[in-house]
Structure 1
Amino acid sequence: MPVEPMVFPAHSRPLPHLALFSLTFILTLAGILARPIESLSLFWPVNAVLAGVLLRYPRLANPLGFVLIWMAMVGADLACGSTWPPALWFNLCNLGVIVTIWLLLSRLPRLHRRMRTPHGVLSVFGACAAGAMVAASMACVMAAPWFQESLRATWLAWFSEQFSTSVLVLPALLTAPNTGALLRGSGQAIRLAPMLVLLASLALSIAFGGPGAIAFPIAALLWCAWTYSPFLVSLLALTAGSTLIVAVAQNLMHFSVPQSVPGVTTLMSARLGIAMLVLGPLVVACVSNTNRSLLARLAHQATIDHLTGALTRSAFTRRANALLDSRQQHAQALPLTLMMLDIDHFKTINDRHGHGVGDQVLRQFANALQDQLHDGELFARLGGEEFVVIIPGLEPERAKFTAERMRRAIQDLHLTHNDPRLQITVSIGLDGCTADTPAPSLDELLVRADKALYRAKAHGRNRVEQAEPQRQVV
């Protein structure tokens, strides 16, 4: 009897969970090996990385995924010489951080969870604080056999490390673009000045030293937040924060705090201060990115007609005038042609089929015309069913062939509509100027092309007419 192949449900396929187990094991192993002997880790990014992975890939956030994470952590601890009790219990504390952050942030809308709003940034900070408190409290319950410090010192040590690490690492994972967007890139050069100033301020912090020196990079981080994307700002904040934590731990900054509160050490104080240091820049980066996106949308709406994708009338006027001004500045001016196009009997289409069909006709008409145009040629919707085209470098006489090609393309256009009898035609009037002759103003070109358009309609529509040459006044 043939054995049927094992089929896994979509949510429990083994490969993603195997990758999660391997990632956890490698990160835990690296964290343990980088840990000072007989001490808590200086920087333990494992919990924040795994919380970010589960938030970005929610199909892994199931009981099997959490069990695999814990098993991988325990396995890495045992591989490095730990005994069973501390390996089981302390990695349960680490799992508490991951589960707490995931529970608090997974219920947020995606916009907040990806830190694209100030509310999202504050929510991430709150979730990191809650996860750190859970881990610190669990560690205190289990601390007696393995720690010599007081419960207060143990709680503060766990909380400061988990909170600072989560705040520095998690934003970079939550704001990271998708793989496709990351490979494509923005296509824009990155300004290096804010980044260089940040590196200089970090060097100054270490050279100057003292508790106040951890605030030196704040101005540079705010400049970065105003300039870069939230993802890049998160990476820079991670770099700055981890650099300062290591510098304090190695006593490079001569950082000290008065021991007025039992259990508070220099490193604990520095970690909490550095963690709060990055809150402001991350909020500013979020607000700045939102403002840039809003301005880009407004600029697009002011430039591109939302229905047809053609230029708006105001955008066409600006670009056409700039084109005419540029033409006048050249010693040998190029020819230029302006065409006015009007869909024949468009009001009848709206009255007979409705405005929804009319909008669909306008979109297909615009798409068909744009297929006939080349880069550098202006195409705009003036209003209703009336459009305009400017073709630089083409004389009006030769442009008649181009206009005729456009007319035939519209006449042969197969409209995607239930009524096969629905067909459209276009009337075109054109005017322009030849090489080495002064170009009239845009208003004059539009008036003369409009007169030619009305003559095309008067002569039966679905035709091309050229404006009559101007009479020379002697």
Structure 2
Amino acid sequence: MPVEPMVFPAQSRLLPYAALFSLTFALTIGGILARPIESLSLFWPVNAALAGVLLRYPRQATVSGFVLMWLAMVGADLLCASALAPALWFNLCNMGVVVTLWQLLSRLPRLHRRMRTPHGVLCVFGACAAGASVAASLASVMAAPWFEQSLRSTWLAWFSEQFSTAVLVLPVMLTAPAARTLLQGGSQKIRLAPLLVMLVSLAFSIAFGGPGAIAFPIAALLWCAWTYSPFLVSLLTLTAGSTLIVAVAQSLMHFSVPQSESGVTALMSARLGIAMLVLGPLVVACVTQANRSLLARLAHQATTDHLTGTLSRSAFTQRANALLESRQHQQFLPLTLMMLDIDHFKSINDAHGHAVGDQVLRQFADALQEQLHSNEVFARMGGEEFVIIVPGLAPDRAQFTAERLRRAVQDLQVEQAGQRLQITVSIGLAGCDEGMPTPDLTALLASADKALYLAKAKGRNRVEQAEPQRRAI
């Protein structure tokens, strides 16, 4: 009886939009419940968070998606007993931030959009200022009916809140790594000293007070920027910035501005100052991360053979000498060095071309990598010649490992123009048993090379062992 194939239902196109509506509704409810009664929100992360979500997952950044977000904001406001007209208009102001951030930042290359370059950081700050200006301008239109403030005061209040919140929240969304990356990096050690200094400086700034106190954590944040990833630095700037804003709002820092500045409050001034202070640490974190990535790439290129992905000859020499030196402090544990040479490799290049020869080298290296353990050193010495160091195994016991590698190469499937190329390898072994003195790397390579030529002389595709080293008296 034939088995019917399983049919899986296609994913609903409405599901992502339903998720976006639910997320917007939940964030708006949380922001409303957290704001003071009969006042603008002290900290409104909804707009920046939604813009970050759309920039990371842009499929729902459509007219329908933006309308759904606006309806979710309005519904949450009405549920919290807001009047219909203010709910419609002020959430249109909020959507002005989301749409502006999306329109400006979605056009950037991904490298800049994810704040991996100083140019990207500056673009994000500029987009946050533009989004805050749009929201403030729309809100000022309705200043007379719903606010007892002047047009200037309303504009400054909206701009300072929207700009500072976006600058603190959006970098967290844009620099956040994927969930898989977070799980893989969970075991990495994190230096606590910069974090502790930042927390202490933050507490000291609140205790000391005064307008200049908002700058106290900047040195610690710069230290964090040199130490941590841009994502962690973004989290720390969010923590420091939001804490300082709350402290100023609660009059904990005795922060004031001259009374002659009409419409400017201490909170407005503090918000703008805090927003500009976090620019420095974010740029430093971005530059530091870029330098680390560049150094890692340079180190990889210096130590890795570009064709096969194995260690380069120079890197092998360093690793091998370090291994031989450490052996002297480990009761002369056994060690084996294998010299490998692909049989008749020159004829492969001559008959099929160097491109096929490169393919053979890559597949050969991949096949051996799958057979080796993490503590075994594998390198390409040049051309078709490779070397492997197997610590902890004497040559007699490593003979079985070498045979396993030889069979893996013999079974290798290399296809060229519909034909299978037969690849074999000759292997020469040299090393020392337990309790033997540590040989010089040059002497060890020479012994393995002699054994390799012996394997070739006996017909190739075989393993030969050098004359064992005599026990020292």
Question: In structure 2, how many angstroms separate the alpha carbons of the residues matched to 1:162 and 1:253?
Answer: 22
Residue number in structure 2 paired with 1:352:
351
Asked if 1 retains the 8 angstrom alpha-carbon contact of 2:432 and 2:469, the reply is no
Q: How has the CA–CA distance of structure 1 residues 262 and 430 changed in structure 2, closer, same or farther, with 3 Å as cutoff?
A: same
Partner of 2:367: 368
1:44 alignment partner in structure 2: 44
Instruction: Tell me if 1:257 matches 2:260.
Output: no
| Deviation for aligned residue 1:133 | 0.6
- CA distance in structure 2 between the partners assigned to 1:185 and 1:76 by the alignment: 37
Cα distance between partner residues in 2 of 1:77 and 1:378: 64
Q: Cα distance, 1:470 vs. partner?
A: 7.0
Q: Deviations over 1:331-385 (max 9, x none)?
A: x312222111111110110111111111111112112223333332221110110
Distance 1:33 1:377 in 2: 59
Residue type at the aligned position of 1:161: E
**Equivalent residue of 1:465, what SS?**
strand
Q: Look up the match of 2:99.
A: 99
What is the aligned partner in structure 2 of residue 152 from structure 1? Answer: 152
Task: State the one-letter code of the partner of 1:115.
Answer: M
> Could you tell me which residue of structure 2 aligns to residue 240 of structure 1?
240
Residue 263 of structure 1 deviates from its aligned partner by 0.8
Per the alignment, in what secondary structure is the counterpart of residue 145 of structure 1? Answer: helix
What secondary structure does 2:416 align onto? coil
My pick for the range that moved more, 116-125 or 360-369, is: 360-369
CA contact (8 A) 2:78 2:84 kept: yes
Which residue number in structure 1 is paired with residue 290 of structure 2?
A: 290
With over 3 angstroms needed to count, the CA separation of the structure-2 counterparts of 1:15 and 1:371, relative to structure 1, is closer
Question: Secondary structure at the residue paired with 1:168?
Answer: helix
Shift of 1:469: 5.4
Whole-Å separation in 1 of the counterparts to 2:404 and 2:76: 71
Instruction: Give the conservation status (yes or no) of the 8 Å contact 2:115–2:171.
Output: yes
Q: TM-score, normalised by structure 2?
A: 0.94
How far the C-alpha of 1:245 sits from its partner, in A, is 0.3
Mapped contact 2:305–2:312 kept (Cα < 8 A): yes
Q: CA separation in 2, counterparts of 1:373 and 1:46?
A: 51
With 117-126 and 80-89 compared, the bigger mean Cα shift is at 80-89
Partner of 1:201: 201
What is the RMSD of the two structures over their aligned residues, measured on CA atoms?
1.9
CA distance in 2, matches of 1:20, 1:411: 55
The amino acid that maps onto 1:216 is: F
Q: Residues 174 and 348 from structure 1, CA distance in 2 versus in 1: closer, same or farther, beyond 3 angstroms?
A: same
Question: Does structure 1 residue 86 correspond to structure 2 residue 70?
Answer: no
Distance 2:448 2:211 in 1: 74
Partners of 1:368 and 1:37 in 2: how far apart? 68
Give the alignment of 1:373-412 within 5 angstroms: 373-412=372-411
SS in 2 for 1:380: strand
Letter in structure 2 aligned against 1:49: A
For residue 219 of structure 1, what is the aligned residue in structure 2?
219
SS in 2 for 1:340: strand
3-state SS in 2 of match to 1:144: helix
Q: TM-score under structure 1 normalisation? A: 0.93
Cα 1:34–1:419 change in 2 (3 A) is closer
Whole-Å separation in 2 of the counterparts to 1:426 and 1:81: 79
1:425 corresponds to which letter in structure 2?
A: T
Q: How many residue pairs align between the two structures?
A: 463
Partner of 2:27: 27
**Any idea what the Cα deviations from partners look like across 1:392-443, whole Å, max 9, x if unmatched?**
2222233334323332332232223335352122122222122212122000
Secondary structure at the counterpart of residue 122 of structure 2: helix
User: How far apart, CA to CA, are the structure 1 residues paired with 2:10 and 2:141?
Assistant: 39
Q: Distance in 1 between matches of 2:153 and 2:420?
A: 84
User: Structure 1 stretch 370-379 or stretch 242-251: which is displaced more?
Assistant: 370-379
Tell me the CA shift for residue 185 of structure 1. Answer: 2.5
What do residues 245-280 of structure 1 show as CA deviations (whole Å, max 9, x unaligned)?
Answer: 000000000011113321111110000000001000
Distance in 2 separating the partners of 1:43 and 1:270: 13
Equivalent AA in structure 2 for residue 449 of structure 1: A
> What is the CA–CA distance in structure 2 between the aligned matches of 1:470 and 1:165, rounded to whole Å?
72
Which amino acid in the other structure matches residue 253 of structure 1?
A: M
Residue 228 of structure 1 is matched in structure 2 by 228
The alpha carbon displacement at 1:459 in A equals 3.1
Q: CA separation of 1:471/1:319 partners in 2, compared to 1, >3 Å: closer, same or farther?
A: closer
Taking only the aligned residue pairs, the percentage that are identical comes to 78
**Does the residue aligned with 1:329 lie in a helix, a strand or coil?**
coil
Name the aligned partner's letter for residue 353 of structure 1: H
CA distance in 2, matches of 1:116, 1:38: 40
User: Which residue does the alignment assign to 1:463?
Assistant: 462
Deviates more, 1:366-375 or 1:265-274: 366-375
